């Protein structure tokens, strides 16, 4: 492997880029080598998985564990050669499939996440990546850009002087990010551009004055006094890319190198994926949490969103699991348990923090029933669909997602093989309660 000049020669602070020895230590190509044979803390959650190669490119709290996909594939009554996940997220299903020798197809509506998954599944030429990193670093270092075009495309709250003395990115930091973005976009290989862009996305929250948690985004304590050092932007990016190149090199002969990522709304796209042997997914929970908000920094700063219309359009395409935008709510499908829940929610309308919650909950199940019907047309007889779902609660009314889906399964042409509670989730403060909500695995099969 021919090596370009070390990056440390370009700017102090760069970590030495991958050597064969590091590549050999970093991981491996089998599922066991990738996960290190770890004991997953919980099958349903990402606990610990963001330390794994590829998964650490971007922290994704809501991911399920790779071990869940391995178990699904191993326990399938039919051999699994092709597996679909209609809610791709960080790409756990798709990436795990590649380590298991299964061909993945995944759908993700969020363009940044769709690119993140595509970048994880792609095949690269390591020396080309190293040369590209050197070029990007040189280009960004030599740039005199003041980020004017990028600043024009961002909401005013994003960059100093911001709005009402608050801004997400200090101007000197934003200028460094803009220079990096311009240098990345100047690369000629679209796969390299995508990879570098998503790796920059993985650092975006750290470059901002905000922190992101399960409760959303907020300004860091004392952010005005503890400014981000703009000279760290380029070295931090170079370190992240160098670390990713090590992982890519170490896992370059995993048993499956193919994979399809469809960017868009799975309610429309799932029917087009063709026959699959298994489906695994974790749809957003009906807890009013909009993933578009969580990835707002990446979406705007990387140019995936350039107007509020873009933002609205993306929100319209997400599963009906939140009330952040006005939309047409599909009427709730009918089953006794859901009828009862819908009636209770309508009666409690005055106590709900948003009057659209009952309609949202009804439409949530209509969306999922539609997807389950499509699943039954894609699977072979006995083929399974593994759904990880979470309950919700509004004004003390419990929305039992797994149980309602199980009740609806026959009308989708599916049979419930098993239901297993994974863990309890605390009710969000917004839902004013301390009760525990269940997160469950539901395994459906095509009779
Ligand atoms: C709970 S996360 C999935 C996490 C995934 N299982 C993992 O391990 O990374 C749900 C994902 O569904 C995506 N999503 C929401 N609505 C969608 C839609 N209509 N079509 C496709 N993806 C959608 C969200 O953007 C989010 O990434």
CA distance 170 to 159: 6
> Is 434 exposed, middle or buried (CB count within 10 Å of its CB: 0-12, 13-18, 19+)?
exposed
Radius of gyration of the chain (CA): 23
pLDDT at 88: 97
Helices (H), 208-335: 233-250, 266-269, 291-294, 296-301, 308-317
Ligand 1 atom closest to the Cα of residue 266 is 20
CA of 77 to the centre of ligand 1 (A): 26
CB neighbourhood size of 256 (10 A) = 16
CA 210 to chain centre: 19
- Cα–Cα–Cα angle for 264, 266, 267, nearest 5°? 120
CA distance 14 to 11: 7
Kindly state the tokens that stand for 193.
């551009």
Q: Does 92 sit in the ligand 1 pocket, CB within 6 Å? A: yes
To which H or E segment does residue 107 belong?
strand 103-108
Domains of the chain: 38-121+256-445 (3.40.50.150), 124-250 (no CATH)
Q: Does 111 sit in the ligand 1 pocket, CB within 6 Å? A: no
CA of 154 to the centre of ligand 1 (A): 25
Residue closest via CA to ligand 1's atom 16 equals 318
Task: Concatenate the DSSP letters of all residues of 72-104 into one string.
Answer: HHHH-SS--SEEEESS-TTTHHHHHHHHHT-EE
Task: State which of 109, 115, 315 you would mutate to test the pocket of ligand 1, scoring each by most atoms of that ligand within 8 A of its C-beta.
Answer: 109
Q: Does 298 sit in the ligand 1 pocket, CB within 6 Å? A: no
CA distance 362 to 385: 22
11 DSSP 8-state letter: S
128-160: buried (b, 16+ CB within 10 Å) or exposed (e) per residue?
Answer: ebbbbbbbbbebbeebeeebeebbeebeeebbb
CB neighbourhood size of 109 (10 A) = 25
CA of 123 to the centre of ligand 1 (A): 24
Q: Does 439 sit in the ligand 1 pocket, CB within 6 Å? A: no
pLDDT at 6: 35
To which H or E segment does residue 357 belong?
helix 357-378
Q: What is the mean pLDDT of each run of 10 residues along the chain (447 residues)?
A: 34 33 49 80 64 89 88 96 97 97 97 98 97 98 97 96 96 98 98 98 96 81 92 98 95 93 98 98 86 89 95 92 87 97 96 94 97 98 96 94 98 96 60 66 97
Q: Does 113 sit in the ligand 1 pocket, CB within 6 Å? A: yes
Task: State which of 88, 94, 363 you would mutate to test the pocket of ligand 1, scoring each by most atoms of that ligand within 8 A of its C-beta.
Answer: 88
Report the residue count for the chain: 447
Residue closest via CA to ligand 1's atom 2 equals 89
Task: State which of 52, 61, 64, 284 you would mutate to test the pocket of ligand 1, scoring each by most atoms of that ligand within 8 A of its C-beta.
Answer: 284
Q: Does 31 sit in the ligand 1 pocket, CB within 6 Å? A: no
CA nearest neighbour of 203 among 245, 233, 223: 233
pLDDT at 32: 86
29 DSSP 8-state letter: S
64 DSSP 8-state letter: -
Q: Does 137 sit in the ligand 1 pocket, CB within 6 Å? A: no
Q: Does 65 sit in the ligand 1 pocket, CB within 6 Å? A: no
pTM score, two decimals? 0.91
- The reply to whether omega before 161 is within 30° of 0 (cis) is yes
Ligand 1 atom closest to the Cα of residue 367 is 19
CA of 283 to the centre of ligand 1 (A): 6
pLDDT at 59: 84
CA of 186 to the centre of ligand 1 (A): 30
CA of 284 to the centre of ligand 1 (A): 6
CA distance 130 to 127: 5
CA distance 420 to 253: 35
Residue closest via CA to ligand 1's atom 25 equals 110
Kindly state the tokens that stand for 270.
């799932």
CA of 320 to the centre of ligand 1 (A): 12
Bridge partners (DSSP) listed for residue 108: 263
């Amino acid at each position: 492997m021919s090596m370009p000049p070390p990056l440390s020669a370009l700017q102090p602070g760069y970590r030495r880029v991958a050597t064969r020895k590091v590549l050999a230590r970093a991981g491996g190509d089998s599922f066991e080598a990738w996960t290190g044979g770890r004991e997953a803390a919980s099958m349903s959650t990402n606990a610990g998985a963001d330390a794994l190669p590829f998964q650490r490119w971007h922290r994704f709290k809501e991911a399920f564990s790779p071990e869940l996909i391995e178990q699904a594939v191993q326990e399938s009554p039919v051999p699994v050669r092709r597996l679909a996940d209609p809610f791709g997220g960080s790409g756990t299903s798709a990436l795990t499939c590649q380590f298991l020798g299964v061909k993945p197809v995944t759908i993700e509506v969020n363009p940044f996440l769709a690119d993140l998954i595509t970048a994880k599944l792609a095949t690269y030429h390591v020396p080309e990546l190293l040369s590209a990193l050197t070029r990007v670093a040189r280009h960004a270092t030599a740039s005199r850009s003041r980020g004017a075009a990028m600043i024009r495309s961002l909401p005013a709250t994003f960059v100093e002087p911001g709005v009402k003395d608050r801004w997400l990115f200090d101007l000197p930091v934003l200028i460094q990010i803009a220079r990096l973005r311009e240098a990345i976009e100047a690369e000629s290989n679209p796969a390299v551009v995508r990879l570098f862009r998503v790796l920059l996305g993985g650092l975006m929250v750290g470059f901002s004055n905000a922190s992101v948690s399960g409760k959303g985004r907020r300004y860091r304590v004392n952010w005005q006094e503890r400014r981000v050092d703009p000279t760290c932007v380029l070295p931090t990016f170079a370190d992240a890319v160098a670390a990713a190149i090590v992982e890519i090199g170490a896992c370059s002969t995993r048993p499956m190198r193919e994979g399809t990522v469809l960017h868009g709304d799975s309610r429309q796209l799932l029917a087009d994926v063709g026959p699959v042997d298994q489906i695994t997914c974790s749809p957003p929970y009906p807890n009013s949490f909009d993933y578009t908000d969580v990835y707002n920094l990446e979406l705007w700063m990387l140019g995936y969103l350039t107007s509020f219309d873009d933002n609205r359009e993306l929100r319209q395409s997400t599963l009906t699991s939140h009330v952040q935008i006005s939309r047409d709510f599909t009427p709730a499908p009918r089953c006794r348990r859901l009828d009862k829940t819908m009636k209770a929610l309508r009666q409690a309308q005055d106590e709900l923090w948003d009057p659209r919650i009952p309609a949202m909950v009804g439409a949530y199940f209509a969306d999922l029933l539609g997807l389950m019907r499509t699943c039954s047309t894609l699977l072979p007889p006995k083929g399974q669909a593994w759904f990880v779902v979470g309950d919700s609660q509004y004004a003390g009314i419990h929305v039992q997602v797994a149980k309602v889906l199980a009740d609806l399964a026959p009308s989708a042409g599916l049979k419930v093989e098993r239901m297993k509670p994974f863990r309890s989730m605390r009710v969000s403060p917004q839902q004013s309660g301390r009760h525990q909500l269940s997160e469950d695995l539901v395994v459906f099969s095509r009779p």
